[in-house]
Amino acid sequence: MPKSILFVCLGNICRSPLAEALAKQFANKQGLDLVIDSCGTGSWHVGEAPCSDSIRVAKEHGLDISHQRARQINQEDLLYFDLIIVLDEKNLHDLKMMGAQNVHKLGAYGYNNEDVPDPYFFPGYEGFDKVYNMIDTCVTNLMTDIR
């Protein structure tokens, strides 16, 4: 069983903060001793809180992600984390270019290996609702698998 999981998207302000929060919720409920974190491949939003639509959709499901702050992935992450879960194909490509080995797409855990679409460029509730549901299903399956 992995001891640490890192969720990676592009900006670390829309998708991976939700994955981090849902995985932490699962681990807490099941009493799993895991380090869980998220980050982005890009640096544009380093230090920022998650985007307002992600904060809102999380809140509607009883999760507070407003304290999270975006950070960019680094080489130490690749050594430290036992399992790296990316949100889409571009993230997968970027991580492999960095030399990551233990990397999988979140969509492999229940959505036929589909990308979790990037909602940043399609704001509005509907996109984020869909993204939340995809992430929720896949994170639950992932965490159940590794338990």
Contact footprint for ligand 4NP (CB under 6 A): 9-15, 40, 44-45, 118, 120
Q: Are 12 and 40 in contact (CB under 8 A)?
A: yes
Q: How far is the CB of 63 from ligand 4NP (least distance, A)?
A: 16
Measured distance CA(65)–CA(7) in Å, rounded: 14
Is 118 catalytic? The answer is yes
Output the smallest distance, CB 14 to ligand 4NP, in A. 3
List the catalytic residue out of 9, 14, 51, 138: 9
Using a 10 angstrom Cβ sphere, with 0-12 exposed, 13-18 middle and 19 or more buried, the burial of residue 110 is middle
Choice between 44 and 80, CB closer to ligand 4NP: 44
15 is known as an active-site residue: yes
Contact 72, 12 (CB under 8 A): yes
Distance CA 34, CA 36 (A): 6
Contact predicate 135/31, CB 8 Å: no
Of 34 and 65, CB closest to ligand 4NP: 65
Nearer to ligand 4NP, 111 or 120 (CB): 120
Minimum CB separation from ligand 4NP for residue 43, in Å?
10
Closest CB to ligand 4NP among residues 37, 118: 118
> Please, what's the b/e burial string for 121-143 (b: 16 or more CB within 10 A of its CB; e: otherwise)?
eeeeeebbeebbebbbbbbbebb
Residue 129 catalytic?
Answer: no
Q: How far is the CB of 47 from ligand 4NP (least distance, A)?
A: 13
**Catalytic (active-site) positions:** 9, 15, 118
